[in-house]
Amino acid sequence: MARVLYNLLMFTIGLTLRIRVLGYWSLIYGYCALCTAVALLKLWWNIILRPSTTFQWGIRETPPACLNDTSLGTHCYVRIKESGLRFHYVAAGERGKPLMLFLHGFPEFWFSWRHQLREFKSEFRVVAVDLRGYGESDLPSSTESYRFDYLVTDVKDIVEYLGYNRCYLVGHDWGGTIAWLFAIHYPEMVTKLIVLNCPHPSVFTDYALRHPSQLLKSSYFFFFQLPRFPELMLSINDFKALKGLFTSRSTGIGRKGRWLTSEDMEAYLYAFSQPGALTGALNYYRNVFSSLPLSQNDVKSPVLLLWGERDAFLEQEMAEACRVYIRNHFRLNIISGASHWLQQDQPDIVNTLIWTFLKEGEGRKTHRN
């Protein structure tokens, strides 16, 4: 009788797990279909309004001058033996000084850290990397090449190639996700962790599943699962949607005087108009659902989390929830009026808060600026 009850219990557990997995993927693909329908309507409307320009876009052949600004640092390349991939990075500051490594988000590249490269090169060896699939780094074609474990290993290999065994790690958006994961798996290699507008991956997963409002804000995650169509939608009308991410009233850089210049915008268009550039960036999203939830969560490094109050993509409540997974000092600064593009939106405040964290130790309270 006990054996029968045990088998029944195991069958019930297994069935419940299968139902949950089926529900999980049904939600993903159902929402993906809904987002696709909305995107098709937008495309059709664009064709009606702008029939002659909808499908016009071009590759920028020449980089704008700002990408070769020597005050930002020196352009360097490294080929990692483990993966065989070549990475591009911009470095400044004296060799031998502590390493500060910057990881960008989507849709960005090393240039998004221009204000920080200038600021911190006085006391650090500052390095802003083009992550795999971005900028002048190699763009693996397969979606499988953008698994979390590969992305984390890239950071480890780059740190070691640069001649360091530890670094001050700074990440924003997708770069923030990779920074969290790197700190989880290689705590001995992270002196301090600084993350901008990106929650701990487990916080994001738990929160999004319980809050429809965040699920709605994350609808692009589902849309980006499609092959090729998202690339088309980001490209039409000469990359209008891509421009809008940085310039629109709802999602763009919010602080007057810090809006992207026309040359800054051309830098982004130069990077993402290159063949395969959008696909490489979008492949990060095409692996995310199979990579969560995490098997490890604890962060042992001191953490500074900076959060723009006007983030159009991520709800602020997730910021405080990150505290649960941090086994060291945790400092959270919520910056009033700042957008998702925090380090470009309000670089002076961001840089000051980072200096405070680096120089004066870590606080335990939440601060509002």
Residue type (1 letter), 306 = L
Residue 169 and residue 156: Cα distance in Å, rounded?
Answer: 11
Sign of CA dihedral 197, 316, 278, 184: positive
Residue pair 330/364 in contact (Cβ under 8 Å)? The answer is: yes
Residue 69 is a catalytic residue: no
Residue 340 is a catalytic residue: yes
Q: From the candidates 104, 115, 200, 340, which is the catalytic residue?
A: 340
Interior angle at CA 182, CA 67 and CA 144, nearest 5: 80
Q: From the candidates 285, 311, 325, 345, which is the catalytic residue?
A: 285
Q: In Å, how far are 18, 151, 204 from 316, measured between CA atoms?
A: 33, 26, 11
Residue 120 and residue 100: Cα distance in Å, rounded?
Answer: 8
Neighbours of 79 (CB within 10 A): 11
Sign of CA dihedral 24, 291, 108, 254: positive
DSSP 8-class letter at 283:
T
Residue type (1 letter), 310 = R
Q: From the candidates 173, 264, 311, 345, which is the catalytic residue?
A: 173
Closest CA to 295 of 157, 201, 197: 201
Residue type (1 letter), 104 = H
Burial of residue 345 (CB within 10 Å: 0-12, 13-18, 19+) is: buried
Residue 173 is a catalytic residue: yes
Beta bridge partners, 90, equal 75, 128
Got the DSSP string for 202-223? Answer: HHHHHHHHH-HHHHHHTHHHHH
Active-site residue list? 173, 285, 340
